[in-house]
Structure formats: C-alpha cells, structure tokens
Amino acid sequence: MDGERLFGDLRERWRRLKKQVKDDRRRVVDAEPDQQRTGNEEELGVLRDDELRTGVEAVKLREECTLRMRQEVLKVRRQRRYPDEDPKCGLVDTWREEGGKREGQMKDGSWVKDT
C-alpha cells in the first residue's frame, strides 16, 4: 500500500486545517491582550481545539480517511478469499446509530452474526 498516494491529499488538507485554526487562535489572542500565551501548546496526539476535534472539516477528513482504509482492507480480504463484510459496517451512520454492536438484531431490523 502506497500511503502517500492513498492519504497524501488528506494529510495536506489536515495540515492546512491545523494552520488555519492556529492562525485563527493567534488572531484572537492578539486581539485580546489579557489572554495569556503559553509556549508550545501542541502535544503529540492531543487536540485542544474544538474545531480540530469536532469541526465539520475535521470530521469529514476522518470519515474519508476511514473509508479509504476500509477499502484497502477489503482488497486484502478479497485477495485472501475472505468474504466481504456487511457493507453497512463501514458506514459512519451505522456506528452512530448502532455503536460497536457486532452480533444480534440491529436497530434497522437486520441480523448480524460473526462466523
């Protein structure tokens, strides 16, 4: 799998989004002199800005990244002659609605059983 080919555009969009959020934060701090600046506010793997955690663009980026990764996993499943998983398992809306439930009757009336 060529990670740069598959995810390079998403990485670039994430970098632009982070820069935009950081620039916006800086403008707010500069406009309000009472705000206290702390040195390095970035900690690896920690998102302190709501825009990066739950903003529309950030969520879209994560959803698109997840979809691409699931498509690559599906290719491997097919190469190894495993059956395709239930297509709705890869949908964000399914997880929002049903959570991580793996077996039994789902809210939409379908039945799922891992074999």
SS3 call for 48: coil
Residue with tokens 């903003």: 55
Kindly report, residue by residue over 45-78, the tens digit of the pLDDT. 788 889 999 999 999 999 999 999 999 999 999 9
Domain ranges within the chain, ordered by starting residue: 3-94
What pLDDT was estimated at residue 46? 80
Q: What is the pLDDT of residues 90-109, one digit of tens each?
A: 777 777 777 766 677 777 77
DSSP code string of 59-106: HHHHHHHHHHHHHHHHHHHHHTTPPPPPGGGG-HHHHHHHTT--SEE-
Which pLDDT tens digit goes with each residue over 13-41? 999 999 999 998 888 777 766 555 554 45
Write the CB contacts of 77 (distance below 8 Å, at least 6 apart in sequence): 83, 84, 85
**Threshold 0.85, pTM exceeds:** no
The whole-angstrom separation of Cα 41 and Cα 38 is: 7
